[in-house]
Amino acid sequence: MKKSFAVFGLGRFGESVVRTLVASHQDVLAVDINEGPVNELMDVATQTLIADTRDEEVLRDLNVDSFDYVIIGIGNNMEASILTTMLSKEQGAKKVIAKAETSDQGRVLERVGADQVVFPERDMGHSIVRKLLSNHILNFIDLSDEYTLAAIEITDPNFVNQNLIDLNLRERFGLTVIAIKHGKAINVAPQPTDMMETHDIVTVVGPIKGVNALDEALKK
């Protein structure tokens, strides 16, 4: 389903967001105070604009309340980031996602109305470390501070040739299996009797500590 996005601030984070959304066939307005970043995305985004989003009149003219999401990627200018977030919410923006570079900046953004604060640099560091320290977690998306969705490769002989009933991942680790990939085939509705084979990739959702415990069990 196509949604509409306004992206304010076209640094590395903002540009990446714009290109990814456009590649997913979404409608994207890309805005920056500087001409260079806007020109870079002129032939990419649905619409581009050179503007100062600290200006209340600019946001009113943009009809920020008409977008499904407003994404604020102005991380290196705290004043602009905070003011743009506050004004976007005052103008009726449905959901504001703001980038922060520090915890203090993140707390202020939440207080002035950001529905979600993201820390791209911090999260990338966490992601790299987690993958380096794990032998079996291929990918993951943290859903909150406590829960995650993860793709885990099964190589341990103790887990092979057993079905989901035998493995009992829910009872042992608090994890629910939502998909199993075998080769190129993906089973998105696995049955309790489905058997696990070597190098199968299971997608699970549940507590982060449960995923880590399963990863530890697979190392044995």
> Tens digits of per-residue pLDDT, 126-172?
777 777 777 788 888 877 778 888 899 998 888 999 899 999 999 99
Domain boundary assignment for the chain: 4-119, 134-217
64 secondary structure, DSSP code: G
Give this prediction's pTM.
Answer: 0.68
CATH topology (fold) of 4-119 = Rossmann fold (3.40.50)
Per-residue pLDDT reduced to its tens digit, 88-111: 999 999 999 999 988 899 999 999
**Which CATH superfamily hosts domain 134-217?**
Regulator of K+ conductance, C-terminal domain (3.30.70.1450)
User: Under the phi-then-psi rule, with left for phi > 0, alpha for psi from -120 to 50, and beta for the rest, what region is 168?
Assistant: left
Lookup: tokens for 74: 């102005």
Alpha helices of 43-152 — where are they, by DSSP H? 56-62, 78-90, 103-111, 120-133
* 182-190: long-range contacts, CB 8 A cutoff, minimum separation 24: 190/164
Banded pLDDT at 173 (limits 50, 70, 90): very high
| pLDDT tens string 177-200 | 999 998 888 888 889 999 889 999
